Amino acid sequence: MLLAALIPFAAAAEPLTLERLFESPDLSGASLRGLQFSPDAQLVVYQRGKASNAGQFDLWAYDIARRRHRLLVDSAALVAEERISAEEAARRERQRTAAFSGIVEYEFSEDGKRLLVPLSGDLWAYDLRRPAASAVRRLTATEGAEADARYSPRGNYVSYLRDGALWVRNLGNDQERRVTPPAAGVVSYAVAEFIAQEEMNRDTGYWWSPDERYIAYTVVDESPVDEVRRFEIQADRTDVITQRYPAAGRANALVELRVVPLDGGEPVRVDLGAETDIYLARVDWFPDSRQLAVQRQSRDQRKLDLLAADPVSGSTRTLISETSDTWVNLHNDLVFLERSRRFIWASDRSGFRHLYLYENDGTLVRPLTSGEWMVVATGRGRGVAGVDEQRGQVYFTANRDSPIERHLYRVPLSGGAVARITTGAGWHRIAMSENARYFVDTRSTAETPPSITLRDATGRQIAVMVENRLDADHPYTRYRDLHSPTEFGTLTAEDGQTLHWKLVRPKVLEPGRRYPVIVDVYGGPESQEVGNAWGNSPRANDAAFHQFLAQRGYVVFSLDNRGTGFRGRAFESALHRRMGSVEVADQVRGVEYLRTLPYVDPARIGVFGWSYGGYMALMCILQAPDHFAAAVSGAPVTDWRLYDTHYTERYMGTPQDNAPGYAAGDVLSWADRLKGKLLVIHGMADDNVLFTHSTALFAKLQSLGKPFDLMTYPGGKHGLTREPVSGLHALRTVVRFFDEALAGPPLQAASSTAP
């Protein structure tokens, strides 16, 4: 029996449906994805979904001088039917773009006159100087699929990977040549290995020198990595995938860095030290092309070295060493200055991520920011939005004013007070021009969808690019009458740290009634669920889904427990070597708060999460069976020994040196405590959290005689909830389960069930 919606509404009010969450146009209204300024700051180029299919992107531009939008490249005009190679499909799954099609990436030439567009395994160039009808030129038409393509720094070449090798095409004579040896068995060249793509936010394996004389590239030897077979179960077949998978405590791939002169000559091996069991985290070039900046991370991730490498000899010297008793987080905030031999570097050494100015020889000049707040990336994966050397200003994004908001700030390179640039409460995503004269501000709050404005460096508005008002034409307007505002608040963890929460409840609470609760949780490191933004979560459609649940009669609650990100080292490292402990304690604290609310039924509280959230849902219902009556666990990790090295060991160490921590963090260790109702959902072709995690749980619960519900998806990957077909079915399954599991006894008057 389904739980009835408990709120009366006017005949004109239209309730949300699950189907509408996956239909076009998007409920959030118009949006511009992948914003980039042209190098000359004359255009803002972006991806925009088609009106008929929001997930198929075309390439558009906003002309700053003319104040108008125009279509640059229609993806359907280039390729009638898109084909994606297995390698590209896997790469998109790593980048969480597998649900999209059309132009999912693009790149400017350094002079800003051309755009490079990869599509369907081939490459196209768009010349901004030519009329639209003749602007597009196809660069490749091969059987193999070109990937990781880009212009060389001066625009004379296009480089790309094909058939396991790095190729360079001379745009002057249209000739291509192979730069590296071809892949041979377990050895590959110029690629980002699995761990780099999945966990290190490094999706490339080669780097041009600014003067185009050299290319640095990786050599990846996977022979030490355990070879495992996993089964991708499709609807009509089972694919057996043989994969080199580095599980926690086991061997990683061996990664070398080499530099080859473009005009010929033997490659030079960069000296990364005597210890080979390390991570090649980042590679950049100094602006003068005389040195590479190489970030080397120790296997235990407690040390990160910034090295200067000579491209001719391969010799290295250490510029900076960051150390920690827990772990050192990676970042993309190494920014070289052009007018002086200095660079900006981000560090958590104070307990919070801040910016520091260094000489190119590694001498610290001065800290640029400080305080109990963090510089946080919101655009291009960097916290540093831009640098104006002429005016001596650094622009960056941070949570200085509130942990649940993001704003743009500036600070003088010479040191001094930090000034806030953006106005208006909420979440500001920033894309800044290379000359730091303009920025695009995408601002939203929990109650207002994203608006996009073009501004100068002082914050003065120049133009409204997307107003996105909730007017009569907005896709969400027809559902607005039943919209429930998001409430925010804080609690105190047992160690005194502040926990932020958000809550959505039925818009009209019937007097004397108590309502069921769904705790929507993620809870893992480097995440944040609670933000004053229009949908602030890694799951697609989550804000609209929360509204759907509230209209159905549920209270929806989310809390960022200790161990989640962007709150400083003490907050994040509280789970060090003990995953599945403090996170659960904080979620229990949230439930104890919910029990004090007169409209909450304390006997009908469920928990729902995906990935790390799936792990959390299991640990909550198993460790706190008296607090959670039901749980939905999507694609959960159940045994950290089965997950990969870089992620797991960062927080847990290895199974060999932290056996008690792994045992306590193992879901199966708690399985005998299951009392409530449980639904497990998993894609049967998940190559991130392998289906094995769930099958181990199934066997354990069956051996204990514990009943549970199950929904599996043949061919389903880790992001199956983002796909229209599987996502809709999965959410329907979640709702049906909670309707039945939390229906409970008839609703009672609040006074008779007060906790």
Whether 611 is catalytic is yes
The two structure tokens encoding residue 456: 């100068």
Three-state secondary structure readout of 281-328: EEEEECCCCCCEEEEEEECCCCEEEEEEECCCCCCEEEEEEEECCCCC
**Closest by Cα among 537, 487, 484 to 5:** 484
Q: Give CA–CA dist 245/254, Å, rounded.
A: 13
For residue 415, the tally of other CB atoms under 10 A from its CB is 12
**Closest by Cα among 35, 25, 121, 45 to 78:** 121
For residue 508, the tally of other CB atoms under 10 A from its CB is 12
Q: Give CA–CA dist 279/256, Å, rounded.
A: 10
For residues 258 and 250, is the Cβ–Cβ distance under 8 A?
no
Q: For 556, phi and psi rounded to 5 degrees?
A: -115, 130
Q: For 195, phi and psi rounded to 5 degrees?
A: -65, -40
Q: Which helix (H) or strand (E) holds 47?
A: strand 43-49
- Catalytic: which of 120, 188, 444, 611? 611
What is the rounded (10 degree) CA torsion for 531, 534, 540, 542?
70
Whether 669 is catalytic is no
Classify 630 as helix, strand or coil: strand
Q: Give CA–CA dist 34/396, Å, rounded.
A: 19
The two structure tokens encoding residue 687: 């190559």
Q: For 701, phi and psi rounded to 5 degrees?
A: -65, -35
For residues 67 and 463, is the Cβ–Cβ distance under 8 A?
yes
Calculate ∠ Cα 216-220-222, nearest 5°: 175
For residue 319, the tally of other CB atoms under 10 A from its CB is 20
Q: Give CA–CA dist 483/27, Å, rounded.
A: 13
Give 725's contacts (C-beta < 8 A, 6+ positions apart). Answer: none
Whether 520 is catalytic is no
Q: Which helix (H) or strand (E) holds 443?
A: strand 438-444
Calculate ∠ Cα 415-420-422, nearest 5°: 145
Q: Give CA–CA dist 19/686, Å, rounded.
A: 24
Structure letter (DSSP) for residue 235: S
For residue 494, the tally of other CB atoms under 10 A from its CB is 10
The two structure tokens encoding residue 581: 């402990």
* Burial classification of residue 324, based on how many CB atoms lie within 10 Å of its CB (0-12 exposed, 13-18 middle, 19 or more buried): middle
Number of residues written out for the chain: 755
For residues 443 and 427, is the Cβ–Cβ distance under 8 A?
yes
- Catalytic: which of 441, 520, 639, 686? 686
Residue type, 647: Y
Q: Give CA–CA dist 79/58, Å, rounded.
A: 12
Angle at which helix 542-552 crosses helix 724-741, to 10 degrees, equals 30
Q: Give CA–CA dist 406/422, Å, rounded.
A: 9
Calculate ∠ Cα 732-733-735, nearest 5°: 65
Strand residue runs (E) in 74-121: 101-102, 107-108, 114-119
Q: Which residues are annotated as catalytic? A: 611, 686, 718
